[in-house]
Amino acid sequence: MTKFPKPGLAPTNRRDILRGTALAGAAAFAAAIPATVAATPRRLPAPILRAPNPHVVQVQAEAIAAATPADLSGLARLRQVLVAPPFAPVHEQVATGAPKIVEIEMITEERLMVVDEDTGASVWALTYNGSVPGPLIIVHQGDYVELTLRNPVESMMEHNIDFHASTGALGGGALTHIYPGEETVLRWKATKAGCFTYHCAPGGAMIPYHVCHGMNGAIMVLPRDGLKDGAGNPLRYDSIAYIGEQDYYLPRDENGDYIQYAIAGEDYADSLDAMRTLIPTHSVFNGAVGAITGAAAMRFNVGETVLMVHNSCNMDSRPHLIGGHGDYVWETSFDVAPLTSMETWFVRGGSAVAAMYTFEQPGVYAYVNHNLIIAALLGATAHFIVDGPWDNTLMEQVVAPRAIAT
């Protein structure tokens, strides 16, 4: 089996120089793939997405080696057990005590996932902890996130993680490259309050390849004293709905059928061709068409306040709750007053947004990307089922549908 190498085939730092086997694998991979694919990274226009300049890598390594050790001995530690979407980990809305070191663990799992049962579309998803999106992390401003990241020996590819909420070293991406069978620990301070995306960023074309195979998720950094409205009054939620919108570019054969691949990474060349169209074959919530509909719909009650955290790592999105609203929407950060009474809000590709709503009527609500082509044809639809008494003062069917009298 071919192990995927780190993009950029030349050794760029001491760690790579020591990796004779990895480089041999890189050479084998380069020889095994078509010339058109091998040439792909050279066509990428953005220098930051290429393999780092060795000099820059060296300067950064020297700066890190010369840095004063951080004394965090006085900080308490808290282990956060991450859970699969659409759910959120156990957490406090208002922080108790001083900033902590929040320990989390993530495994880079490559797994075959069905994207659409009706068409047989599937993908060798690249995931954090086996889910698309990766798990929601919740800390408070001033806390430290201490991530142990493991890449199982069975993996085909190198992975890392770039936290948009963090500061320095490509969001941690430069310090977390791990090959199959490796682990690393990264600690960073959550200085900015808001919802932020995180994603894998191995370098070059592998960045969109990994992101568009599901390797992204969100972290919510709450203010220590919790969420507030524009007047400074506290806002609290009863539950969280964590939605990750994922655009897939799944290759098809000459008959238009989705191609099935035997191992992760086998679709690399075909995927790059499909991604270059910028036209996704699917854009789904939580990994697959219908992942949060039908029996898997989320359930709430009238009077319940839900915080909808929507992550969209690659494409812009416009979430809309059909039949409801965004009572409070933090489209940018928690530093600013939330927007209020919104019909549709905006998620910039490469970010996550929180919207709060208190249900006032029972029934089935569709939570969609209000690019309705994406919602109805590409999959970006979730269902919330709300139980409780109907309020005729808010809405009443005065006349049921009937034939028009002639």
First and final C-alpha spacing in the chain: 74
Which residue of this chain has its Cβ atom nearest to Cu ion in the complex? 200
Q: How far apart are CA 251 and CA 248, in angstroms?
A: 9
User: Which of the residues 40, 108, 127, 159 is marked catalytic?
Assistant: 159
**Of 213 and 383, which CB lies nearer to Cu ion in the complex structure?**
213
Shortest distance, position 215 Cβ to Cu ion, whole Å? 4
Residue 213 binding Cu ion, by CB under 5 A: no
Shortest distance, position 5 Cβ to Cu ion, whole Å? 13
Q: How far apart are CA 134 and CA 147, in angstroms?
A: 13
**Of 128 and 188, which CB lies nearer to Cu ion in the complex structure?**
128
Q: Which of residues 158-177 bind Cu ion (CB under 5 A)?
A: 159
Shortest distance, position 211 Cβ to Cu ion, whole Å? 8
3-class secondary structure, 223: coil
Those residues with Cβ within 8 angstroms of residue 171's Cβ, 6 or more apart along the chain or in another chain:
161, 162, 163, 164, 198, 201
Mark residues 110-139: x for contact with Cu ion by CB under 5 A, - for none: ----------------x-------------
Whether 162 sits among the annotated catalytic residues: the reply is yes
Interface stretch with Cu ion, choices 19-27, 202-210, 334-342, 350-358 (CB under 5 A): 202-210
Q: How far apart are CA 257 and CA 271, in angstroms?
A: 14
Residue 150: beta bridge partners?
107, 183
User: Which of the residues 200, 212, 220, 313 is marked catalytic?
Assistant: 200
**Of 95 and 206, which CB lies nearer to Cu ion in the complex structure?**
206
Whether 313 sits among the annotated catalytic residues: the reply is no
CA–chain centroid gap for 222, Å, is: 18
**Of 100 and 210, which CB lies nearer to Cu ion in the complex structure?**
210
Q: How far apart are CA 363 and CA 237, in angstroms?
A: 20
**Of 215 and 222, which CB lies nearer to Cu ion in the complex structure?**
215
User: Which of the residues 110, 143, 176, 210 is marked catalytic?
Assistant: 210
Whether 177 sits among the annotated catalytic residues: the reply is no
Structure tokens at 359: 């249900």
User: Which of the residues 164, 213, 310, 383 is marked catalytic?
Assistant: 164
Q: Which of residues 215-244 bind Cu ion (CB under 5 A)?
A: 215
Total site size for Cu ion, rule CB under 5 A:
5
Which H or E run includes 297?
Answer: none
Interface stretch with Cu ion, choices 173-181, 198-206, 281-289, 293-301 (CB under 5 A): 198-206
- CA dist 132 → 86, 135, 137, 213, 301 (Å): 10, 8, 14, 9, 26
Which residues in 237-261 are b (16+ Cβ under 10 Å) and which e?
bebbbbbbbbbbbbbeeeeeebeeb
Residue from the set 193, 200, 220, 264 that interacts with Cu ion by CB under 5 A: 200
Q: What is the DSSP string of 326-393?
A: EEEEESS-TTSPPEEEESB--B-TTEEEEEEEE--S-EEEEEEESSHHIIIII--EEEEEEES---TT
Residue positions annotated with a catalytic role: 159, 162, 164, 199-200, 210, 215, 320, 343-344, 370
Question: Which residues in this chain contact Cu ion in the complex, by CB under 5 A?
Answer: 126, 159, 200, 210, 215
